[in-house]
A and B are shown apart, each in its own frame.
Chain A
Amino acid sequence: MEALFRKVSSFSATTILILLSAIFVVLFIYAKPAIKEFGFNFITDPRWDVSVTLKNKTAAQKTDNTANSAVANVGNNQAQQNMDSDAIPQDSEDIDIPQDNDDIAISQDDDLGIAQDDDLGKSNTKTVYGGLIPIVGTVLSTILAMFFAVPIAMGISVFLAEVAPSFISKPVGMAIELLAAIPSIIYGMWGLFYFGPLVAKTFGGSSVSLLVAGMVLAVMIIPFMASLTRDSMNTTPNVLKESAYAMGATKFEVIKDVIFPYAKKGIIGSIILALGRALGETMAVAFVIGGVFSFPDKLTDPTVSIPVVLANSFAESSGMSLNALFYLALILFVISFAIISFAKFYFLREKK
């Protein structure tokens, strides 16, 4: 009985490891056709669900250059082609993108042209998926959110830890903690109906944009960041602070020279944790970023982020587009895993 209990408990602990590795492996397996098809160019390719016409001329040139590798790859490419043709929409020929030549030049690197070996006589179309726009959208909205959130969250936590008397800081601190518990969809809705239009009125542009997304994200992570930062500021021993005051230091000097250095690791760690949360946030962003596959020229342009692409198109996708979405999910998972574990292992190591 004792041994059984012990085994079960040790197995349960291992489920965490199993689950995390399973998430990685399953995402990888489902993303594999897309990884094979687009390789690492996926990350730098700005085209999503765009049909590219491969003309005979380029295909023929390509054949010369890569005859050797083509032989090895024919089997593979045929399989991929079958999958592609499922994903190609009926009217794909009309959707040629403007810089056709450039794009074909890029596609050659992905050994797309090789597939032409078998049917040199016909022109062919294929659908290309690239993740650059959602990746850029994710990174930009996160940076914007951090830009707005960090100063305000720092201000709040300094206020709570040092400035406010305890009859104010206790209820306010509790309110902040409660606000961190509000579901993110609420922030998204508020952004869509109230905050977005206000931002559009003030800065121009539309009420769904990168700027609105960044700001709504900021509002969402402020409570989380502020309460974590306040907690680490509160770990500063009173003796340290008092000795600084005794030397005649002002409150600001105590904060700057005693509290910040002492709680530095915890503060940076909580900022990174908040960053990780902003990176993977879906609902607060989905309402207000616009969901448009285009690069934002200005901050007030709509764009898209990885979680939003997943949320909007996952259920209706199949074939290669689904594989490409899994590729995006895998990228998001790896990035946030890396950031969070960096924060955890380097900054927030618990002293025991």
Chain B
Amino acid sequence: MRLVINKIVLLLSTISALIGLGFLFWILVTLTVKGIGAIDLHIFTHDLVNNGLRNLLVGQFVLALIAVIVGVPIGMIAGIYLQEYSFGNKYAEFIRNLSDVMMSAPSIVIGTFVYAVIVNPVGHQNGWAGAIALAIMMIPIVVRTTDDMLGLVPRELREAGVAIGAPKYKVIVNIIIKAAKVGIMTGILLAFARIVGETAPLLFTSGNSQYFTLNLNEVFPSLTVAIYNLATMPDENLVKIAWAGAFILTLFVLIINLFGRYLIKDKK
């Protein structure tokens, strides 16, 4: 009897794994089929206004890149504080937990926040607002990885640095960060992959523009927002473009993730 129950449960577990994987496989297959069917050279050389994706791809990348430039220094320095300067006090523990909570905060709420502090005073949607919304999402992720990666640096390295008379900030910048470089870079890469696919915080911050622009003071083109708008259009041609965009986005995110994993493995 016990053996029968055992068999049944293990079978159920395998079946559920198959169901779950089946769904996920189904998503990837439809995405690939629909996406590859819709991709041609036209998409990369024209803007949305001419049924292309060029301005959207560039726009999304620029938004995410600025988010990295704004978010990474703040997140990294905060992570350094948590690991190197806090000496395990209660405040640091509190900030660490708070940062984890912030990492899971609903992204759309961050969008409403940025709308309130930037879009509303300025009077119209603009690229800066979108980039800052993404940066706010990024900071806690970077804090977490920096904190974790610095924690892996052996104590002896720190002591060696201090022993030759270097001030602490020099030890941190020249020794500890160097030792944890690969890990932190990987973390930033994964964080980038995560925010580049975000839609909700961009919906009413950057908005979406049909035209090619690099001026962040205007409404800014965003791939994800465009996918959301296009996919619900009745025009089949536009839906096709949305699939192409979705496929490119997913491929990009998955490749960055694989590359990040490869970097970590390589180090080990």
- Which A residues fall within an 8 A CB radius of B? 1-2, 5-6, 8-10, 12-17, 19-20, 22-23, 26-27, 29-30, 151-156, 158-160, 163-164, 172, 174-176, 178-179, 181-190, 192-194, 219, 222-223, 226, 250-253, 255, 273, 276-277, 279-283, 286-287, 307, 310-311, 314-315, 325-326, 329, 332-333, 336-337, 340-341, 344-345, 352
- Ranked 10 nearest A-B pairs via Cβ: A280-B106, A155-B16, A183-B197, A9-B81, A250-B6, A5-B169, A12-B78, A282-B200, A159-B17, A12-B77
A-B contact pairs, 30 of them (CB 8 A): A9-B80, A14-B95, A15-B139, A19-B136, A19-B139, A152-B16, A152-B20, A155-B13, A155-B14, A156-B17, A164-B17, A174-B261, A181-B190, A182-B253, A183-B198, A185-B246, A187-B27, A189-B227, A189-B242, A189-B243, A219-B24, A222-B24, A253-B2, A280-B104, A280-B105, A280-B108, A287-B228, A307-B108, A310-B108, A329-B109
**Supplied contacts A23-B110, A336-B109, 20 more A-B pairs, CB within 8 Å:** A8-B77, A12-B78, A20-B98, A23-B113, A26-B113, A29-B116, A156-B17, A163-B13, A178-B254, A178-B258, A182-B197, A187-B27, A188-B228, A194-B30, A252-B5, A282-B107, A307-B108, A310-B112, A314-B204, A315-B125
A159 to B17, CA, bound (A): 7
For B82, B102, B106, which residue has the most chain A Cβ atoms within 10 angstroms?
B106
Residues of B within 8 A of A226 (CB): 20
For A186, A253, A315, A325, which residue has the most chain B Cβ atoms within 10 angstroms?
A186
A174 to B84, CA, bound (A): 32
For A8, A223, A345, which residue has the most chain B Cβ atoms within 10 angstroms?
A8
Residue B44 at the chain A interface, CB threshold 8 Å: no
Residue B152 at the chain A interface, CB threshold 8 Å: no
Contact A27 B104 (CB under 8 A): no
A185 to B229, CA, bound (A): 11
Q: How many interface contacts (CB-CB < 8 Å) are there between A and B?
A: 254
Q: Quick one: which of A151, A222, A253, A341 contacts B101, CB cutoff 8 A?
A: A341
Chain A at the B interface: SS class: helix
Residues of A within 8 A of B12 (CB): 155
Name the distance in Å between A162's Cβ and chain B's nearest Cβ: 8
Name the distance in Å between B214's Cβ and chain A's nearest Cβ: 23
A159 to B16, CA, bound (A): 9
Residue B9 at the chain A interface, CB threshold 8 Å: yes
Contact B231 A192 (CB under 8 A): yes
Q: Quick one: which of A14, A190, A307, A315 contacts B207, CB cutoff 8 A?
A: A315
Chain B at the A interface: SS class: helix
A304 to B178, CA, bound (A): 49
Contact A311 B203 (CB under 8 A): yes
Contact B242 A181 (CB under 8 A): no
Contact A27 B109 (CB under 8 A): yes
A183 with B3, Cβ < 8 A, contacts A23-B109, A336-B106 known: no
A273 with B104, Cβ < 8 A, contacts A16-B78, A185-B227, A344-B97 known: yes
Residues of A within 8 A of B167 (CB): 1-2
Contact A17 B104 (CB under 8 A): no
Residues of B within 8 A of A153 (CB): 20
For B24, B26, B253, which residue has the most chain A Cβ atoms within 10 angstroms?
B24
Contact A252 B9 (CB under 8 A): yes
Contact A189 B254 (CB under 8 A): no
A329 to B200, CA, bound (A): 13
Contact A332 B249 (CB under 8 A): no
Contact B6 A252 (CB under 8 A): yes
Name the distance in Å between B19's Cβ and chain A's nearest Cβ: 6
Residues of B within 8 A of A175 (CB): 21, 24
Contact B99 A190 (CB under 8 A): no
Contact B116 A27 (CB under 8 A): yes
Q: Quick one: which of B74, B105, B112, B117 contacts A15, CB cutoff 8 A?
A: B74
